[in-house]
Structure 1
């Protein structure tokens, strides 16, 4: 017994937020085909062998008990040798017609009419007595209805895909009688087909003659209609009328184009006149208008007067009269008045001429509009005449086409009628001929080993697979980490393989990390330590509760080895044995069971006094304590809370081992006091439903639930685990 190390400053211990409820209410089962194939490989091999044996035995037994022999007749179908069908309904003798014909004949071969002919044939009793015997009544007569019904089950006929052949077959347990019956069916069918052909040709001949007569009457009616139109509309001059209308329409179009060009020019001229009238400086008259005004009689008279006054002024000045003389002034005044009169008269004449131009342009525009309207009306009339002439031409053309089509149809039907008459005279062969006669079969149709063998193997393998899959679905045990992923609100924090999977064969599993640090199990605990330590550091956790699901889950072994891994990574670790029902950690580390946890909770010892140092100075053990002081209820009291708080100040990691959650409620109490918890389940022991319930309980506690550690996983259940274990062992063995 030693004293605990000096205390360190405590790390913060924030609580993670509570997790919400999962939206998943049920567990879904996933099947890994590769894992199942590897796990049950020899079962599948054995099932395949059994299937082969059963197939061989079944083929032999069925061949002796219920053999089936099939005799076959093959018919060849030919395309139509006449144009009867085309004359009837316009079809062409193509591949589709031949396929329809073959399908029809296959139905005729197995029709009640043909089969009844076979049953009534006296040869049936002599050539197939075994088959016919059950249907012979006491009076010696055949039960025709029953025999036909049973015969229809054994006789089959169908076109051979992609060929021109039809296969007719009879299946029966006696090969000779099967051959005889199919021969009788062949004969009955050929007789029926000949009768049907004769009847069909007669019906076709009558129908074609009726269609020919109707066609001729229709031609006469159409010709009468055409002749009446020719008389009523004077069609003899129709071509000239069409040509004249086309020429007239061409002239109208040309005149319209010319008038519209003139309209555009006059509209532009009027727009210019109106712009001059609105101009601020007044109208600007053209030179031609000015020249016309200057030639006006009144303007010329005023100019002559002005010229006379100018001459008089010059003559007066020539006589020596000065500029200020009264005569000069009078003459100049008269000239100025005449000049004013000239300007005013010229302006008036210019404006009158301009107004006359505007009025003339407007009158010209009105005339052109009237001409345009007249031409448009004439064009509509010509178009109406042309449409009427075109309608007449089209009507006559349609009648001619209809007459020609009807005459062509009459010609085709007349050819068809001649072909039918030629067939009736025996000039053409029928469309069905026997290609291969019936013969006694030399091999059974059923059973056949090539079919029975694979079918038996398939059925046995299918049944075996169904049983295996059903077993996997019904097996709710946790077999590997993948099963934990199916559980809501559960995550895997580590996987520890079964000790038997470790090639190093460890002897003491509880301390395998210390005894065989290079073994597969030791490496698995290292891989588990890293994510646990990371999560605890991120959340500021120090105390970790190791909760076993059921007894023998290996939680004590997990707790001891995790404590050793934490200590090996230079952490000060306190391992508390809180399993007061079946304490074991003191035996694992070969220490006494008291003083311990029970003593501390009872107040009879302190943590420093009760903690025992192990072989690793970084690992201290707080055993279960004195037997008489082991009171289970104290695990959920304030004393336990104080103990954990004290341990957090003195150790880096505090691991708490507790009794299985299924047999006690200690885990529920401690999960509310410890910072975090992990659930340890043993593969092939705990069921998923139980694990899901325990995960929900730990998730709802105050401490954070870090996840599930799967212990004792076997390679047979883990799929790829065995290969990983071998690779790990080989690597460490080479290193050492």
Structure 2
């Protein structure tokens, strides 16, 4: 029989993810705990369920991306409208005047030039000028300027019906709308006056500038004579210091008998020559010491190899030479006599004895000469090394004396250099002051000699300084987006539904066994999850099921479990889809797997696998048929067997918790490697709890964005109180944009096969 594949999720809402279907389990599914657990106690998990939901920002942004985008557009509209309204009702005009801080002493020396200024002086002067511009007395005099009193609408706000001016209120208001700002990284100070009238801010700024410049001119005239007198006194004082310094230098040179300039060079040259000679002697001494050691070793151990030169010298010794000649003559006589006489002849034997004795005498003399020559060379090398050692010691003493002399001369030179620099500094300073005196007398009326000068007059502004279009739009966007974001995240905070693995971990003993992502997150776009492990075994969905299968099998094998109850939290949780795909995947591991449809309310596994549903479990429990008669081999799924729910009249819920059901499960667990039971939703049917007391282990399937965390916590607690060991929770139809799951991982998984 061929397998019939239908969209079981649409026909049976309890078995899938609804119209969208389910997706494969995530690689983030973690293995359950080790063996040795108490039955029914599960595998630990998160802490107590919290009333506040853990928020995944990525998921929230994805879910509400269009709402947030609309809030940004609305914010732009609000910003533009607010900008024009603000500009019409309360515009702010700003008039700017600029002052430049000068250094009076340096400027009078170089009038017309643009000398550099020290940073510390500029910063202090800028602060002084800014404070003076904001001085109440300056502002009070500016209010009394005729151009302000007669030609501004601003002054009318402080004038009563009798024409009397409230100077205190006007001064306070002018102080609030006036700012003097030192400009960083420059020598400028900006004077800003703001208001609703462009003409008023221009006239007020001009009045403040006029009062400030009049005050500066008065101060400059008062201090001109004092400045010239101060320069003269300073010049005389510096000249006295210069004369005293010159006398001190002359006395020091005479007392220490210091030679002319560059007195360090001859001594340094001598040190350099001695150092070079010392280096050469050290190298020669090292070579001589090596020769001494070599000859000493040869004397102590005559068996060491000699150089060709040593051997040739020994062979040239007169006595060795004579013995060699005698030996050659004996050898020649033997060869001549051997022709007429045999080797055993008495005369030949006598010659052999003489040759052997002569050879021994020659060898002994040769080695004696070698030893004598080695001792002679040792004495010569030792003498040479001792001579070099004495030379090295002498040169090192000379170098030490030279270094002491250099140290003394260096101290004298350092002292003279410091005094020379001090002298040059005094001469330069005297020249500068003399130039300042001349410049002060010549250019006393120049504006550049003032501490501060007007750099730029205020112009009447042609457009408001505030509001600014970009800032208005930004504030509108910020307001709209901020309010919308607050609403969205507040809604998420109060939402108690399970949305991702993190929400399950918040529940007491909430262990995530695996995650089945939403069908829309699969890049291959499957139409349904029904038997996806058969239809697309190499796809993303099947791979995700395998990633749930592996920790499940490890947990059951460690504990020796063979029967597993898969139950959904609420109808439509997708427990049937998870169970059927897990069963197919487990059967592919060479295990005999039996799937039992214990959902008497909405059976459908037999139709899904394409096998007869009658007779089935209900008929077996009613005693109508034997157990083997209801089991059928699943087509296209080797190793998988299916037991349907049975006929309608025999599907009694109460029989699922009976001893007969327990015995039937014992019979099946003995015949199959694993028995997997599909139960109705735990919330809608009580038989799920009855079955949980008959099986070895249980798994709860929860659909994301459907079950409340409080409900899931209660179901986990009920399952842990049963006989079955609760292995964990499979989260179904989870959006993979959250919690560390990235859609590109599934694209890589889809393209890997």
Range into which the TM-score falls when normalised by the shorter chain = 0.5 to 0.7
Deviations 1:301-320 (A, max 9, x none): xxxxxxxxxxxxxxxxxxxx
Q: 1:518 maps to which residue?
A: 535
Counterpart check, 1:50 vs 2:74: yes
Provide the C-alpha distance between the structure 1 equivalents of 2:624 and 2:585, rounded to a whole number of angstroms. Answer: 26
Counterpart check, 1:31 vs 2:56: yes
Q: CA deviation at 1:619?
A: 1.3
Provide the C-alpha distance between the structure 1 equivalents of 2:255 and 2:539, rounded to a whole number of angstroms. Answer: 115
Provide the C-alpha distance between the structure 1 equivalents of 2:472 and 2:733, rounded to a whole number of angstroms. Answer: 45
Deviations 1:312-348 (A, max 9, x none): xxxxxxxxxxxxxxxxxxxxxxxxxxxxxxxxxxxxx
Q: CA deviation at 1:545?
A: 0.6
Q: 1:7 maps to which residue?
A: none
Counterpart check, 1:612 vs 2:633: no
Provide the C-alpha distance between the structure 1 equivalents of 2:738 and 2:551, rounded to a whole number of angstroms. Answer: 29
Confirm or deny: 8 A CA contact 1:481 1:495 kept in the other structure.
Answer: no
The DSSP-based 3-state class of the residue aligned with 1:584 is coil
Provide the C-alpha distance between the structure 2 equivalents of 1:499 and 1:24, rounded to a whole number of angstroms. Answer: 31
Counterpart check, 1:543 vs 2:543: no
Q: 1:106 maps to which residue?
A: 130
Q: CA deviation at 1:24?
A: 4.4
The DSSP-based 3-state class of the residue aligned with 1:149 is helix
Q: 2:702 maps to which residue?
A: 681
Cα 1:606/1:561, change in 2 over 3 Å: farther
Q: CA deviation at 1:577?
A: 0.9
Greater Cα shift, 453-462 or 64-73: 453-462
User: 11, 35, 40: which one pairs with 1:16?
Assistant: 35
Structure 1: give runs of 5+ residues left out of the alignment.
Answer: 1-13, 86-91, 241-397
The DSSP-based 3-state class of the residue aligned with 1:631 is helix
Q: TM-score, normalised by structure 2?
A: 0.57
Cα 1:528/1:426, change in 2 over 3 Å: closer
Q: 2:89 maps to which residue?
A: 65
Counterpart check, 1:123 vs 2:147: yes
Deviations 1:162-197 (A, max 9, x none): 444332222111111111111111111112222344
Provide the C-alpha distance between the structure 1 equivalents of 2:578 and 2:714, rounded to a whole number of angstroms. Answer: 21
Cα 1:500/1:422, change in 2 over 3 Å: closer
RMSD: 5.8
User: 139, 157, 160: which one pairs with 1:134?
Assistant: 157
Counterpart check, 1:77 vs 2:96: no
The DSSP-based 3-state class of the residue aligned with 1:153 is helix
Deviations 1:494-547 (A, max 9, x none): 5164599896656xx8xx339x95369997367526743774376143211112
The DSSP-based 3-state class of the residue aligned with 1:596 is helix
Counterpart check, 1:596 vs 2:618: yes
Q: 1:288 maps to which residue?
A: none
Q: 1:191 maps to which residue?
A: 214
Based on CA coordinates, which of the two structures has the bigger radius of gyration?
Answer: 1
Provide the C-alpha distance between the structure 1 equivalents of 2:471 and 2:184, rounded to a whole number of angstroms. Answer: 22
Provide the C-alpha distance between the structure 2 equivalents of 1:573 and 1:523, rounded to a whole number of angstroms. Answer: 25
Q: 2:459 maps to which residue?
A: 439
Greater Cα shift, 526-535 or 185-194: 526-535
Q: TM-score, normalised by structure 1?
A: 0.58
Confirm or deny: 8 A CA contact 1:485 1:491 kept in the other structure.
Answer: yes
Q: 1:94 maps to which residue?
A: 118
Q: CA deviation at 1:135?
A: 1.8
Deviations 1:565-610 (A, max 9, x none): 667877351404166xx4535895774698728x84xxx6388359
The alignment covers a number of residue pairs equal to 550
Deviations 1:362-390 (A, max 9, x none): xxxxxxxxxxxxxxxxxxxxxxxxxxxxx
Provide the C-alpha distance between the structure 2 equivalents of 1:504 and 1:213, rounded to a whole number of angstroms. Answer: 100
Cα 1:52/1:530, change in 2 over 3 Å: closer
The DSSP-based 3-state class of the residue aligned with 1:76 is strand
User: 711, 726, 737: which one pairs with 1:705?
Assistant: 726
Confirm or deny: 8 A CA contact 1:567 1:619 kept in the other structure.
Answer: no
Deviations 1:82-129 (A, max 9, x none): 5999xxxxxx9624323332332122222222111112334322121x
Q: CA deviation at 1:57?
A: 2.1
Provide the C-alpha distance between the structure 1 equivalents of 2:548 and 2:651, rounded to a whole number of angstroms. Answer: 39
Provide the C-alpha distance between the structure 2 equivalents of 1:421 and 1:112, rounded to a whole number of angstroms. Answer: 35
Cα 1:190/1:650, change in 2 over 3 Å: same
Confirm or deny: 8 A CA contact 1:496 1:521 kept in the other structure.
Answer: no
Q: CA deviation at 1:672?
A: 4.7
Counterpart check, 1:646 vs 2:671: no
Q: 1:178 maps to which residue?
A: 201
Confirm or deny: 8 A CA contact 2:159 2:165 kept in the other structure.
Answer: yes
Confirm or deny: 8 A CA contact 1:573 1:653 kept in the other structure.
Answer: yes
Confirm or deny: 8 A CA contact 1:679 1:709 kept in the other structure.
Answer: yes
Q: 1:334 maps to which residue?
A: none
Provide the C-alpha distance between the structure 1 equivalents of 2:568 and 2:579, rounded to a whole number of angstroms. Answer: 10
Q: 2:368 maps to which residue?
A: none
> Where do 1:159-178 residues align within 5 Å?
159-178=182-201
